[in-house]
Structure 1
Amino acid sequence: MLNADLPWLQAPLAQALARARSHALLVQGPAGVGQLELAVKLAQSWLCEDRAEGQPACGHCASCRLFASGTHPDFQLLLPEALDASARESLGLPFEEAEAPKAGKAKPSREIKVEAVRNLLSFAQATSARGKAKVVVIFPAEALNGVAANALLKTLEEPAGLLRFVLASHDSAGLLPTIRSRCQPLPLALPERSAALAWLSAKGVADAGGLLDATGGRPQQALQWFNDGLTDAAWQALPKRVARGEVAALSDWAPARVIDALQRLCHDLVRRAHGQPGQFFAAASLPSPKRPGPLLSWEAELRRAARHAEHPLNAGLWIEALVAQARSAITAAAR
């Protein structure tokens, strides 16, 4: 069976199996709640050869065994190169270890390129090997670059034979309108807090409530942060350490996560300046700003800095500058 033990997906999976009327579904919602897992479970269910009407995949028929081994001839999972191994590993599907990029060689792409879509179209045009269906899952769908998305349009509109699609997206607004219009939407909301906390606790996450709040209620992201070594205590200490200008609070973090953390901190401080509770940090962890103006200017600076988060020229100096900027804004807002 696939490693997709997310209990809050049971209801949306049942609804999708009962209500899907289109050959193409768009699973959409916030990151970290299981869009990919739901899309793959839908694909497995459509390919299952021994399931009751309206029920999920049986997990034991020949088709399900092929699916779990990653060798089902009628299933294709389309991912960006940069996400392929980690996504397949999270699903419990086999994957090939990618070689570390050599000097001068391009890093694995975070886009889904037209070459991958063209290969997919060859699969789409072939006859179903087992006669049940052919299913394509694309994740994240917004990673399709413009050329790739346009190459997919005709097949998405007029699929051959038994072909079905599930597009899974964290940012459906980033998709071409012509792609969205060809898909039946399947919204996926944040899970109930109690269900998310129970799942995180079962995974061994200490102080799960704090990390769940830190991620805005996204349990998969909270688990990833915990596995990366971030504790609730370290997260709650972050605002005051940044306010003191402690670069060490962020020096071991990846640039993209630095920006993300500072944006969450800025968001909570703006809310506090307007008399509202924070969303990502506990109240006792936050400074008490009096003026939102400096924070709003800082927010704009963080948006500009986010454009370079993937490839800062010098990550250490870049983080120092961000912390200095944060300290200045927090100090000014407190006056």
Structure 2
Amino acid sequence: MLNADLPWLHAPLAEALARARSHALLVQGPAGVGQLELAVKLAQSWLCEAAAPGAPACNHCASCKLFASGTHPDFQLLLPEALEAPARESLGLPFEEPDAKAGKAKPSREIKVEAVRNLLAFAQATSARGRAKVAVIFPAEALNGVAANALLKTLEEPSGLLRFVLASHDSAGLLPTIRSRCQPLPLALPERAAALAWLAAKGVEGGEGLLAATGGRPQQALAWAEAGLTDAAWQAVPKRVARGEVAALSDWAPPRVIDALQRLCHDLLRRSHGQPGQFFAAAALPAPKRAAPLLAWDAELRRAARHADHPLNAGLWIEALVAQAQAAMAAAAR
């Protein structure tokens, strides 16, 4: 069985199976709430050979067993190279580790036209089991311009029993022509109680704080916990950064450093306007007197985010970001 049983997806899955009228659905919502899992469950349900029409997959028929083993001939999952292993692992699907000797090129975060052409070859073939053919694309916004245009014609006029599920946490980044060919399926943040219960079942301590830190995204909270971040360590970030402690962030990957600082800046801006923070507890945050230094810091962080994946020297880059944050917080306190 796929590792895709997120309790808050049961209702959206049932609704999608009952209301889907298009051959192409666009699952859209914030990151970390299960867009990929919902898309994959939809695909499995459409291919299931025992479930009644409009019902979720049975998980026991021959089709479901093929699906769970990652060998279903009528299913394709299209991912960027950089997400291939972690996404398939999170779903419990098998994957092949890339050959380290094959080349030193960094795995791409884009879905390129060659991958789409392979998908179109799959789409044009006859269904092996005669029920349907389903392609899942995640994240859909990773399609580069050439790849997206190559997909358009098939997305508009699919052959035979072909169906698509595009999953996205930034649907605004999709071509309008892609969005217009899909039936939207919005996916909201799960209810707080359901998310906390799920995190507790996964053995996450301090789930309430981590859930708030991620903006209510339980999958992201779990990923942070599994990476060793505790609620106490997260709540200590504002004061440590204010003291210029680079060690507060030095163990984190550059994109995550930017993300954490942007969340801190966001909360400090809220506090400067008399509002509570969103990502940090009230006791963890100072009360800035001026917003102008924080607005300038926010602009600098947005510029720095453009280089977060490829800093020339990550250590020096993080050190500079912490110094910048310390200066902005000190100026805002005066």
Q: TM tier, shorter chain?
A: over 0.9
Q: Kindly indicate whether the alpha-carbon contact (under 8 Å) linking 1:268 and 1:277 is maintained by their aligned counterparts in 2.
A: yes
Distance 1:4 1:134 in 2: 20
The letter for the 2-side match of 1:65 is K
TM-score, with length taken from structure 2: 0.99
1:206 to 2:205 alignment: yes
Give how far 1:101 is off: 7.4
1:217-236 equivalences under 5 Å are: 217-236=216-235
- 1:40 alignment partner, SS class: helix
Q: Kindly indicate whether the alpha-carbon contact (under 8 Å) linking 1:294 and 1:332 is maintained by their aligned counterparts in 2.
A: yes
Question: 1:93-140 CA deviation, whole Å, 9 max, x = no partner?
Answer: 0011224478x8210000000000000110000000000000000000
The letter for the 2-side match of 1:323 is V
Distance 2:54 2:297 in 1: 51
**Which residue number in structure 1 is paired with residue 46 of structure 2?**
46
- 2:134 alignment partner, SS class: strand
Distance 1:57 1:146 in 2: 34
Distance 1:105 1:215 in 2: 33
**Which residue number in structure 1 is paired with residue 25 of structure 2?**
25
Question: 1:284-334 CA deviation, whole Å, 9 max, x = no partner?
Answer: 001110000000000000000000000000001100100000000000000
Distance 1:129 1:140 in 2: 26
Distance 1:149 1:160 in 2: 18
The letter for the 1-side match of 2:240 is R
**Which residue number in structure 1 is paired with residue 71 of structure 2?**
71
Structure 2 segments unaligned to the other structure (5+ residues): none
Runs of 4+ in 1 over 6 A off after TM superposition: none
Distance 1:308 1:100 in 2: 26
1:180 to 2:196 alignment: no
- 1:182 alignment partner, SS class: coil
Q: Kindly indicate whether the alpha-carbon contact (under 8 Å) linking 1:85 and 1:98 is maintained by their aligned counterparts in 2.
A: no
**Which residue number in structure 2 is paired with residue 57 of structure 1?**
57
**Which residue number in structure 1 is paired with residue 321 of structure 2?**
322
Distance 2:53 2:146 in 1: 38
**Which residue number in structure 2 is paired with residue 301 of structure 1?**
300
Using the aligned pairs only, state the percent identity: 87
Q: Kindly indicate whether the alpha-carbon contact (under 8 Å) linking 1:255 and 1:315 is maintained by their aligned counterparts in 2.
A: yes
Give how far 1:54 is off: 1.9
- 1:9 alignment partner, SS class: helix
Distance 1:100 1:115 in 2: 21
TM-score, with length taken from structure 1: 0.99
The letter for the 2-side match of 1:182 is R
**Which residue number in structure 1 is paired with residue 190 of structure 2?**
191
The letter for the 2-side match of 1:243 is A
- 1:331 alignment partner, SS class: helix
Q: Kindly indicate whether the alpha-carbon contact (under 8 Å) linking 1:101 and 1:107 is maintained by their aligned counterparts in 2.
A: no
Give how far 1:55 is off: 1.1
The letter for the 2-side match of 1:305 is A
Give how far 1:63 is off: 0.4
Distance 2:48 2:37 in 1: 16
- 1:8 alignment partner, SS class: helix
1:249 to 2:248 alignment: yes
The letter for the 2-side match of 1:89 is E
Distance 1:42 1:101 in 2: 37
Identify the range of structure 1 (205-214 vs 49-58) with the bigger mean alpha-carbon deviation.
49-58
- 1:4 alignment partner, SS class: coil
The letter for the 1-side match of 2:310 is H
Distance 1:53 1:23 in 2: 15
The letter for the 2-side match of 1:67 is F
- 1:122 alignment partner, SS class: helix
